[in-house]
A and B are shown apart, each in its own frame.
Chain A
């Protein structure tokens, strides 16, 4: 029983991280119907920025949790800027082009960013300062690290903020309007380009936060770390119904749980396969996902 609960906690942690990445996919897809292949790279860049800022601050003798807070904010800002640049250079000029062209441009961007990260930061993994990642407590037969608590708390906090932003603020309303109908929202004075850039920035900021959390959880980051979590998070977005924010959170949790339980009870070597099988299964039987609405047939 202890093992089961321990796995449940691990699954919750990982699921929260996937949910944060999945939100970026789902928001971008909701607004411009594009699978942003480069999204996983924002996640990796966020992880690296976390290492860079946090180790620099830690070397100045700042308290670990203050380092973490500042590093998180700076990394999120950095990735938001990166995403806006990517959107401006690789996606906006292709707004009217065929969907295949945009998809290939996104794929090219993903390879470009991944290798840019490798060239500037080196091929080897980078480690987070251990004074931040260490520590935990026993609870009955369970071991819970401080990082796990932090990740869950931070995920919940970010999800709440995002929900407030999307459903309660003016710009969130504009985002939803643009996602629904670009022409009509333009007629009432919403600048679609600004809204799309903003959506990219928000999604990338969340991915950066997820990157830092994964870095803290495993202790290291690598330049190629964006690819597999990116695909899994995409699976989560699809599972929840792409374009649906609540669905992405739910899908992220499910994918995280499935991965941890499959690794714990079936086979740890094939744990990545299960996310792909879920993805294929969902697309085959219910392409609109759990929470998704029925979309236009040609879009699927």
Chain B
């Protein structure tokens, strides 16, 4: 890096920090009683030091002074990558599955709780991955299907006494149907219009759940949803519930994997890369986009039914736009279209905040920041999909 470039970098940092101070001080420092400076300085100095450190590290890396750390790290990751490629896939999968199977024996109540929410989000993330990652349709109302699944199980079990296992396919089916209902009118749209319309649909579903008192009991939600049981064995404890959601998650992973590598999955990817070209090649884009919505919604429906039985309560506030955005953040962070990527994204965004419980308030702030930063530095995600191209219409 030349002196000029480096100078520009530091000047840019200075201007940015000054700008940040101008934005921060009115928020923290102006009180009806008078001005207050200490709080602003405390926050500002932390941010300034962090930003300066980041720029310094970037600087050193560009200058090649960090190679003594960087090069061995790159070598190590390459070696791990090679080892990963050499080892038979089934062996790796077996190890992961075995670890997942014996996990509840070692984890306490809290550990099980976290693991269950990780698995729920894996189902949601993989379902959304079908719509966003494979078919390239940005869906911002995805959590609505989760809500449909949850309410289906809650209502059927309470009013008709149906068992969890009978409700599971019904929940999936109803979610798939609502996926089609949402998909149908949006099929003419592409890109951002689609995103905003799915957002609108998600909000409509939430408003209906919130206001249809007779059916959903409105904002109070539905209480006393039974836990699943299996020929007399009741999954009352968390560690046994863990196995139920593990089963659903494994089913989801297998199904999404098979879909991804089938003719349908190839067609979805063709639609993602270039819809017009795919149509010209004889792909029925109408049917396949509808199918993508329906399949994505199915997994959310399964996860939703489980969620209702795990919480023993459903209420509309579990299905807000923020939840959709969170699931989307997981898919984006991990890598759209990549199954291990999505699982990694879920682990990072669900398990890591659990480790830093004290920073609970900052959780969503970090979510938003991570989403932005990922788009800037690594738009394909942490573990990108192997087959990923670029839409032809964006080339210009």
Q: Do A and B bind each other?
A: yes
A99–B208 Cα gap in the complex (Å)? 31
Q: Which residues of B contact A109 (CB under 8 A)?
A: 368, 372
Contacts of A117 in B (CB 8 A): 27
Bound complex: CA A89 to CA B13 (Å): 12
Contact of A111 (CB < 8 Å), options: B23, B192, B207, B367: B367
Of B97-105, B196-204, B290-298, the segment with at least 4 beta carbons within 8 Å of chain A is B196-204
Interface size on A, residues (CB 8 A): 62
Please give me the residue from chain A that is nearest to B321 by CB atom.
Answer: A227
Q: Of B19, B362, B394, which one neighbours A119 at CB under 8 angstroms?
A: B362
The contact string, 1 if C-beta is below 8 Å from chain A, for chain B 19-37, is: 1101110111011110000
A interface: dominant SS: helix
Main secondary structure of the interface of B (DSSP, over half): helix
Chain B interface extent, by class = 35 or more
Q: Is the CB of B368 within 8 A of A234?
A: no
Q: How far, in angstroms, from A93 to B372 measured CA to CA in the complex?
A: 11
User: CB within 8 Å of B: which of A66-106?
Assistant: 74, 78, 81-82, 85, 89-90, 93-94, 97-105
In whole angstroms, how far apart are the Cα atoms of A93 and B377 in the complex? 10
Kindly state the separation between the CA atoms of A114 and B364 in the bound complex, as whole angstroms.
9
Of B157-165, B183-191, B258-266, B311-319, the segment with at least 4 beta carbons within 8 Å of chain A is B183-191
Assembled-state Cα–Cα distance A269/B219 (Å):
12
Q: Considering residues A59, A107, A287, which has the most beta carbons from chain B within 10 angstroms of its beta carbon? A: A107
Given contacts A49-B26, A85-B23, contact A112 B193 (CB under 8 A): no
A144 in the interface (beta carbon within 8 A): no
A273 part of interface (Cβ distance < 8 Å): yes
Q: What's the minimum C-beta distance from B209 to chain A, rounded to whole angstroms?
A: 12
Closest to B392 in A: A298
Residues of A within 8 A of B393 (CB): 298
Q: How far is the CB of B336 from chain A (nearest CB, A)?
A: 8
Interface residue? B325 (CB, 8 A)? yes
Query: Would you give the 0/1 interface string for A115-152, flagging 1 where the beta carbon is closer than 8 Å to chain B?
Result: 11101110000000000000000000000000000000
Select the stretch in A172-180, A188-196, A210-218, A276-284 that faces chain B.
A276-284
Cβ contact of A272, chosen from B26, B31, B138, B207, cutoff 8 A: B207
Which chain B residues (169-192) contact chain A, with CB distance < 8 Å?
A: 185-186, 188-192
Contact B195 A108 (CB under 8 A): no
- Name A277's closest neighbour in chain B (CB-CB): B204
Report if B322 contacts A (CB, 8 A). yes
Tell me which residues across on chain B come within 8 A of A53, comparing CB atoms.
26, 30
Q: Report the separation of the CA atoms of residues A114 and B203 in the bound assembly, to the nearest whole angstrom.
A: 18
B211 within 8 A of A: yes
Is A270 part of the binding interface, using a Cβ–Cβ cutoff of 8 Å?
yes
Given A98-B391, A108-B375, A119-B365, A283-B203 contact (CB < 8 Å)? no
Chain A residues positioned under 8 Å from B199 (CB to CB): 231
**Contact assessment for A270 and B394 in the assembled complex, using a CB-CB cutoff below 8 Å:** no
CB distance A59 to B19 under 8 Å?
A: no
B328 contacts partner chain A, Cβ-Cβ < 8 Å? yes
In the bound complex, CA of A55 to CA of B34 (Å): 10
Is A248 part of the binding interface, using a Cβ–Cβ cutoff of 8 Å? no
Kindly identify which residue among A98, A105, A111, A120 contacts B325, using a CB–CB cutoff of 8 Å. A111
- Decide if B368 touches A111 in the complex (CB within 8 Å): yes
A242 smallest CB distance to B (angstroms): 9
User: Do residues A279 and B196 form an inter-chain contact, with CB atoms below 8 A?
Assistant: yes
Interface string of B373-396 (1 = CB under 8 A from A): 111100100000000001101100
Q: How many angstroms between the C-alpha atoms of A112 and B363 in the bound complex?
A: 10
Instruction: Indicate if B370 sits at the interface (CB-CB under 8 A).
Output: yes
Residues of chain A within 8 A (CB-CB) of B245 are: none
Contact across chains for A94 and B28 when beta carbons are under 8 A apart = no
- Beyond A269-B211, A298-B190, whether A105 also contacts B372 by CB under 8 A is yes
Q: Within the assembled complex, what's the spacing in Å between the Cα atoms of A191 and B121?
A: 45
Decide yes or no whether A157 CB sits under 8 A from chain B: no
Q: Which residues of A contact B191 (CB under 8 A)?
A: 99-100, 103, 299-300
Q: List 15 A-B contacts (CB under 8 A).
A: A35-B195, A90-B375, A107-B325, A107-B328, A111-B364, A111-B368, A115-B368, A120-B27, A231-B203, A276-B204, A280-B197, A280-B201, A298-B190, A298-B276, A300-B190
What 20 new A-B contacts, CB under 8 Å, besides A35-B192, A35-B196, A280-B185?
A35-B195, A49-B26, A52-B26, A53-B30, A89-B372, A98-B379, A98-B390, A101-B379, A104-B332, A107-B325, A107-B328, A108-B370, A111-B364, A111-B365, A111-B367, A119-B361, A272-B203, A276-B203, A279-B197, A298-B393
